[in-house]
A and B are shown apart, each in its own frame.
Chain A
Amino acid sequence: MLGYVVRRIIATIPVMAVVALVVFSLLYIAPGDPAAIIAGDQASPADIERIRQNLGLDRPFIVRFGEWVWQILHGDLGSSIFTNLPVTTMMAQRVEPTLSLMVITLCLAIIVAVPMGVLAAWKAGTVIDRLIMAFAVFAFSVPVFVIGYLLAYVFALQLEWLPVQGYTPLSQGIWPWFQNLILPSLALGCVYIALIARITRAAMLEVLQQDYIRTARAKGVGQLSILFVHALKNASVPIVTVIGIGIALLIGGAVVTESVFAIPGLGRLTVDAILRHDYPVIQGIVLLFSFIYVLVNLAIDLVYTLLDPRIRY
């Protein structure tokens, strides 16, 4: 097991290398010029060229790429072209809001979606099942920003229960922190709830047909115990898989959610960096997200062994 983990972690190195090369190449060939944005509308072509030279953007691809890789090998992601701040500093400023948003969304989604899916499977074919599936279709289909606006409409502006926008660091208190994250988490969590609920239902439907479930019923095991102890554990491998895959959805959704609710997280940093062609920041964020995604996949593979003793590495 330990050997497997070590092998998987080592395997992330070529993955990250490929990601780094692809991202750098894409940004290199992408149109647009940060020097022109910095120089402003009134700048002369000569001014733009001077700024480009000072930023080192006029150097050949291989030189820039080599320098960037060398920096990364020394633990340095470089500095933002615009803010002059280290990319690590900029990402560190943004990690807490995004992490908070994703953790709360993840918890919310699992707490809500898994029981919903179990209930839908148990009541398959009934009105309850259809209502849950209708909700799932709705939540999966409506864009995150529309849900965000609607939530803000009801809970922030009409009822005035929650703030419209912003983020309060956890260090300033749990309630202020949580208060700012409720609406964004609900907005972001909808699609995730829908996805997990549907997969849970499908997996549970299959398991509930198994002989051992019939045996458990014959032995007089209670319904809740059958659903959540006997059936859910065996249905959980695909559920855990989709939770893991859904992390990518969360990362993508965070970009929109953070913009709608003005949360200063990594998602907004990504959008800002892309719009400005701030190459070092884009490269740093993509590397970070790729690394997280690889680790999440590893964690999910390891969780399989806990859920299903037949799986061995």
Chain B
Amino acid sequence: MHRRTLLKSVASVGALAVMRKFPAPAVAQGAAARTLRFVPQANLANFDPIWGTQYVVRNASALVWDTLYGFNDKLQPQRQMAESEELSSDGLTWTFRLRPGLKFQDGEPVLAKDAVASLARWAVRDPMGQMLIAIQEELTPIDDRTFKWVLKKPYPKMLVALGKNNTPVAFIMPERIAKTDPFKQISEYVGSGPMRFVKDEWVPGAKAVFEKVANYVPREEPSSWLAGGKRILVDRIEWVVIPDAATAAAALQSGEVDWWENPISDLVPVLRKNSNVLVDIADPLGNIGSFRMNHLYPPFNDVRARRAILQAMSQEDYMRAIVGDDTSLWKPLPGFFTPGTPLYTEEGGEILKGKRDLDAAKKLLAESGYSGEPVTCLVAQDQSITKAQGDVTADLLKRLGMTVDFAAIDWGTVGARRAQKTPPGQGGWQMFHTWHAGADCVSPAPYNAIRANGDKAWFGWPNIPQVETEIAAWFDAKDLEEEKAAIKRVNKAALDNVVYAPTGFFLSYQAWRKNISGVVKGPLPFFWGVAKTA
């Protein structure tokens, strides 16, 4: 039996069970209405949002730590722990003032020195933070509530850096914790946010528990993503890690859990049949699939070979392999930036549009000098998205007449091997697949994968000065129009030179029980404003 069929069959009985109106199991009935049980996308294996930058850690951390600024649903940074900010006329000195009355969860006041230490630790690990460090004159507290960040050159995207939701997020921690080496894990979890992490109940791989903080004072404004009043309407949130999708679907249907962050698309029709379950898009910013080539070695050190891939690839094939036949979940993406966001552009995207031209691609490939040498393709088998893309790519390369060295390995090994700059025959590689959260691709700021600065670039190490020049122009842009113009040029240059091959844009679902209200769409699950009735 096909695994997907089996999963569907097992999960589908949930719909029948609910229709029969039998009493729920005691374990479900006994659950307190004040406890929200949430199935996260992955196991919370560590709890330091600076040391470990996985999304699941960021999502849990957003409950426990607050930020100076937070992105709202318009992707604009909004004041959060900050009361005000002031920029000197020369654009070099930012002065920030904290809101009065802010407290950490141990009752200690949040002081400027805490913010300074937190930002210093964050900046070491964050790409935008690293840019700030490179132009930093000083970052110092002025008084208990005020600190300044003096720069050597203007940095107009300062508030974006401090408020973005991409990992690592600039969370504010007590100074003694924030002074931990950014490459070492913290061991104390004193938060500045609306919920407390209950370390004693943490069973990594199974459960993480958060309790409402009584002395947290939310902002007055309505909440909007990471911004506004973070009002927690339940006493306790339990993250229940359920690794098996069919089990998670059954648990949601039986009421053993309340909210499932990422149901697989195969099970969504089953969940939709259940009158007690609601299903909707999780994150309107979605994800961008990526086919990453190594620019250091043949054949992909020649732009003609990279263009041959773009010319031959069918994004529809990739998208159907990843999310199935639900066409509302994906769309072709003739560019690199997230559809539906202000900077989205298709400039230079013609090569990805229209009928695929295999013959022209073969010709380009031959012109690049490729003559049948094996191409090492790293494919993580334990990630459904990478596996699906890898299978499509292997087929594509064979149709192009290429010899594929298909390395079926696990994600951890891909992570290690893709960092190797050695030639493909000596442990290196020629291509691997991944995907980027759409929230990371709204602008070049958090978007490592679009960078083309050679040795400093993301894996594959593209060296395309034109792309870097246009990215710099975006960073220096004074208004949205200038930004848009710069991004058009970035997109075109990145496609002309094939920084990487986008395989399409796709969305995913979330599902929750009908007695849960306040669930919003966003790049991470926002628990403020979410209520549960018995």
A256 nearest in chain B by CB position: B244
B434 x A260 contact (CB < 8 A): no
Instruction: Report B251-280 residues with CB < 8 Å from chain A CB.
Output: 251, 253-254, 256
Once the chains bind, are A42 and B53 in contact (CB under 8 Å)?
A: yes
B412 & A276 in contact (Cβ 8 Å cutoff): yes
A34→B52 contact, CB < 8 A:
no
B24–A82 CB distance below 8 A: no
Interface-facing stretch out of B101-109, B201-209, B357-365: B201-209
Q: A83-B45, A157-B254 are in contact. Are A38 and B27 (CB under 8 A)?
A: no
A216 at interface by CB-CB < 8 Å? no
CB distance from B500 to the nearest CB of A (A): 13
Contact call A38/B52, Cβ cutoff below 8 A? yes
The answer on a CB contact under 8 Å between A158 and B256 is no
Q: Mark A29-43, 1 if CB is under 8 A from B, else 0.
A: 001111111111111
B-side contacts of A146, CB under 8 Å: 6
**B244 surroundings in chain A (CB, below 8 A):** 259-260, 262
Query: Is B254 within 8 A of A160, CB to CB?
Result: yes
Residue A61 at the chain B interface, CB threshold 8 Å: no
- The yes or no answer to A268 lying at the interface (CB within 8 A) is yes
Note all chain B residues with C-beta closer than 8 A to A45: 419, 459
Q: Is the CB of A33 within 8 A of B416?
A: yes
| Contact assessment for A166 and B45 in the assembled complex, using a CB-CB cutoff below 8 Å | no
The residues of A that contact B13 with a CB separation of less than 8 Å are: 153, 157-158
Q: Specify which of B27, B205, B246 is in contact with A272 (CB 8 Å cutoff).
A: B205
The answer to the question of A161 belonging to the interface, with a C-beta cut-off of 8 Å to chain B, is yes
Chain A residue numbers with a CB within 8 Å of B205 are 264, 268-269, 272
With contacts A42-B448, A157-B14 known, is A84 near B242, CB below 8 A? no
* Structural contact, A93 and B203, CB atoms closer than 8 A: yes
Report if A164-B254 is in contact (Cβ < 8 Å); known contacts: A34-B412, A40-B53, A42-B127: yes
Q: Is B410 an interface residue (CB 8 A)?
A: yes
Is A246 an interface residue, CB under 8 A from the partner? no
Docked complex Cα distance between A163 and B17 (Å): 13
Judge whether B440 is part of the interface by a CB distance below 8 angstroms: yes
Q: Do B17 and A157 touch across chains, with their CB atoms under 8 A apart?
A: yes
A82, A168, A259, A264: which has the most chain B beta carbons within 10 Å? A82
For the complex formed, measure the closest distance between the CB of A159 and the CB atoms of chain B, giving whole angstroms: 8
Known contacts A32-B416, A152-B247, A160-B254, A83 near B6 by CB under 8 Å: no
Which of A39, A50, A85, A262 is B241 in contact with, Cβ under 8 Å? A262
B253/A157 in contact, CB under 8 A: yes
Q: Which residues in A have their C-beta under 8 angstroms from that of B14?
A: 157
| A80–B247 CA distance with the chains assembled, in angstroms | 27
Q: Are the CB atoms of A33 and B240 closer together than 8 Å?
A: no
Residues of B within 8 A of A157 (CB): 13-14, 16-17, 250, 253-254
| Chain A residues with CB under 8 A of B419 | 33, 36, 45, 48
Task: Say how far A43's CB is from chain B's closest CB, in angstroms.
Answer: 7
* Known contacts A36-B416, A157-B17, A165-B247; is-contact A176 B27 (Cβ 8 Å): yes
Q: How many A-B residue pairs have CB under 8 A?
A: 176
Complex formed: what's the CA distance from A152 to B6 in Å?
A: 13
Complex Cα gap A31–B378 (Å): 13
Is A163's CB under 8 angstroms from B27's CB? yes
Q: Are B184 and A31 in contact (CB under 8 A)?
A: no
Task: Determine if B376 is an interface residue (Cβ-Cβ < 8 Å).
Answer: no
Interface size on A, residues (CB 8 A): 62
Question: In the complex the two chains form, is A275's CB within 8 Å of B412's CB?
Answer: yes
**Looking across the interface, which residue of chain B has its beta carbon closest to that of A51?**
B183
A277 engages B247 (CB within 8 Å): no
Contact with A along B8-41 (1 / 0, CB 8 A): 0110011011001011111110000000000000
CA distance A32 to B419 in the complex (A): 11
Complex CA gap A158/B11 in Å reads 11
> Chain A nearest CB: distance from B318 CB in Å?
18
**A61-76, CB under 8 A of B: which get 1 and which 0?**
0000000000000000
CB-defined contacts of A164 to chain B, threshold 8 Å: 247, 250-251, 254, 256
- How would residues 231 to 249 of chain B score, 1 for a CB under 8 Å from any chain A CB and 0 otherwise? 0000000001111101110
The answer to whether A149 has its CB under 8 Å from any CB of chain B is yes
Contact partners of A213 in chain B: CB under 8 A = none
A180 interfacial contact with B, CB 8 Å: yes
Whether A90 and B204, one on each chain, are in contact in the complex, defined by CB atoms closer than 8 angstroms, is yes
Asked whether A156 is an interface residue with its Cβ less than 8 Å from the other chain, the reply is yes
Q: Which residues of B contact A43 (CB under 8 A)?
A: 53
Q: What residues on B are CB-neighbors of A54 within 8 Å?
A: 181, 183-184
Nearest residue (CB) in B for A264 is: B206
Q: Are B417 and A262 in contact (CB under 8 A)?
A: no
With the chains together, A159 CA to B13 CA distance in Å?
Answer: 10
Asked if B411 and A37 sit within 8 Å, CB to CB, the answer is yes
Other A-B contacts than A31-B409, A37-B415, A165-B247, 8 sampled, CB-CB below 8 A, are: A40-B54, A50-B183, A84-B185, A160-B17, A262-B241, A264-B203, A264-B206, A269-B205
The chain B residues found within 8 Å of chain A, CB to CB, are 6, 9-10, 13-14, 16-17, 20, 22-28, 43, 45-46, 51-54, 125, 127, 166-167, 181, 183-185, 187, 203-207, 240-244, 246-248, 250-251, 253-254, 256, 382, 409-413, 415-417, 419, 434, 436, 440, 446, 448-449, 456, 458-459
A-B CB proximity, top 10 nearest? A36-B415, A264-B206, A33-B416, A40-B53, A32-B412, A32-B413, A82-B45, A157-B17, A149-B10, A31-B413
Give me 22 A-to-B residue pairs in the complex whose CB atoms sit less than 8 angstroms apart, sorted by A's number.
A31-B409, A31-B417, A33-B412, A33-B413, A33-B415, A36-B416, A44-B456, A44-B458, A83-B45, A84-B185, A153-B9, A156-B25, A157-B17, A160-B254, A163-B27, A164-B251, A164-B256, A165-B242, A264-B203, A269-B205, A272-B43, A272-B204
